Structure 1
Amino acid sequence: MNIINNNNSPWQNPLIYLLAFSSGFCIMSIELLGGRILAPFFGSSVHIWGSIITVFMLSLSFGYLAGGKLSTKNASLNRYGLIFICAGITILPVAFSSQWLMEAIFLAIEDTRYGSLLASMALFFIPTVILGMISPYSVRLLVTDKDKSGQVAGFLYFVSTLGSALGTIITSFYLVLLFEVNDIIMVCSAVLIFLGVSAMIFNRINQQKQSHNNNALHQQGTAHE
């Protein structure tokens, strides 16, 4: 048995699964909303969705690569929370800048295939790369026993994909009928930032508790001597 780290709070793993679930939900919600954002300028034909899906898949692949690399360098819940905060911040321009950006690209590129591809890249590439970093980083934080790493990764991707499925159905069936697209995007951004801050606060509390316990043990050891 190869133990990696066993000093985590019992609440840390459920928190990570919750955050991974939420990130999966937001990814698919934003991807679906991308079609609504591009539709007034480029239409809603199959090549528009092809552009959106291509950009999201490409962005996630780079995110997985970057997240895996980052997780090898002193992975912590604090940095994990920072990923969520960065993702939430980079999503905001989608709500505030999409209109003029779509107009500029629409006027500059006549072919809607390439126009929609460029527009998708401009709006969604950076936030989706950051969101893609979450899954591999989650695995690194969750794995405490190398012998169970496959099981942990499998359950994490189950939770994350379940979030994506619910994000797809809830956004397409309900949210787009009840709220404006920009409002949904801003809520996704706020949720990601809130979750990131929550993870950082949890990490700080956990560190303080561990420090207190270590000091108490040290004092007990000194007293026995």
Structure 2
Amino acid sequence: MRSERLCVYVLAFWSGCFVMALELLGARALGPYFGSGIYVWGAVITLFMLSLSLGYLIGGSLSARGPSLARLSALVLLAMAAALPCALAQEPILEAVAARIEDARYGALAGSVALFFLPITVSGTVSPYAVRLLVDRLGSAGRVAGWVFFVSTLGSTIGTLATSFYLVLVFDLDQIMAGLLATSAGIGLAGLAVARGKGGHVAAA
């Protein structure tokens, strides 16, 4: 049914937006502790690429076990929950890392792992899971994958521009993080509500 399929695309879109917003905020959060050099961006990008790649593998595996809209929505909510330390304990975590690792390069990498490995890995599961959920026949796999990754990347683009061009000029880091988590919770819960109303499965078009 169209409402469930639209919900899957919304979840994939928001996941892409969420990932890129966290990446930009991550580099900003690390700055006071490890500087703003290229090594900070290198650490953040490396961690995000590794986490997403693992998430893709996990999402593909999970999608083979009775995929449903409810479970996809739960993945978005799980990514939100995994990101809670970024909002609630960011400063003590980064202070502890900076106190133990003198080399700013490895400190930035360790800080990125501590804060973002889990939420970004979970977020990486969303797109492959969404592809499997939307594929209704063998010949549609390529087309569906193209649309899902288009929507997800469009979300990443909008998340990057919105965060870097506007949000950081108006809100502080904690406020933006809280907004991201609240939006993830709202979208994830909406997905669960749609799934509950429609039986949790995306019907073939």
Quick check: TM above 0.5?
Answer: yes
Tell whether the 8 Å contact from 1:60 to 1:132 is kept in structure 2 after alignment: yes
Q: Provide TM-score, normalisation by structure 2.
A: 0.95
Indicate the residue corresponding to 2:76 in structure 1: 84
User: For the Cα contact (< 8 Å) 2:30–2:94, is it kept in 1?
Assistant: yes
Question: What is residue 195 of structure 1 aligned with on the other side?
Answer: 187
Given candidates 149, 156, 166, the residue that maps to 2:148 is 156
Unaligned runs of 5+ in 1: 1-8, 209-225
User: Is 1:48 the counterpart of 2:48 in the alignment?
Assistant: no
In structure 2, the gaps of 5 or more residues are 201-205
1:113 paired to 2:105:
yes
* Match 1:171 to one of 125, 149, 163: 163
1:44-82 deviation per Cα after TM superposition (whole angstroms, max 9, x unaligned):
100110000000000001100000000000111111111
1:140 is the counterpart of 2:132: yes
For 1:122, the equivalent position in structure 2 comes to 114
**1:89-124 CA distances to partner (integer Å, 9 max, x unpaired)?**
111110111101111111111100000000000000
How big is the alpha-carbon RMSD for the aligned residues of Structure 1 and Structure 2? 1.0
- CA distance in 2 between partners of 1:85 and 1:50 (Å): 28
> Counterparts of 2:81 and 2:181 in 1: how far apart (Å)?
7
- Per-residue CA deviation, residues 125-150 of structure 1 (Å, 9 max, x unaligned), is 00000000000000011110110110
1:78 and 1:18 map into 2 onto residues whose CA distance is 14
Equivalent runs, 1:6-17 vs 2, <5 Å: 9-17=1-9
* Counterpart residue number, 1:207: 199
Indicate the SS of the match to 2:195: helix
Q: Deviations over 1:1-56 (max 9, x none)?
A: xxxxxxxx221111111111111111100100001100001011001100000000
- Give the TM-score normalised by structure 1: 0.87
- What fraction of aligned residue pairs are identical, expressed as a percent? 45
Q: Conserved in 2, the CA contact under 8 Å of 1:88 and 1:191?
A: no
| Letter of the 1:175 counterpart | L
In the alignment, structure 1 residue 37 sits paired with structure 2 residue 29: yes
Q: How many residues align?
A: 200
Runs of 4+ off more than 6 Å: none
Q: How far does residue 207 in structure 1 lie from its aligned partner after superposition?
A: 2.2
Q: Is 1:68 aligned to 2:60, yes or no?
A: yes
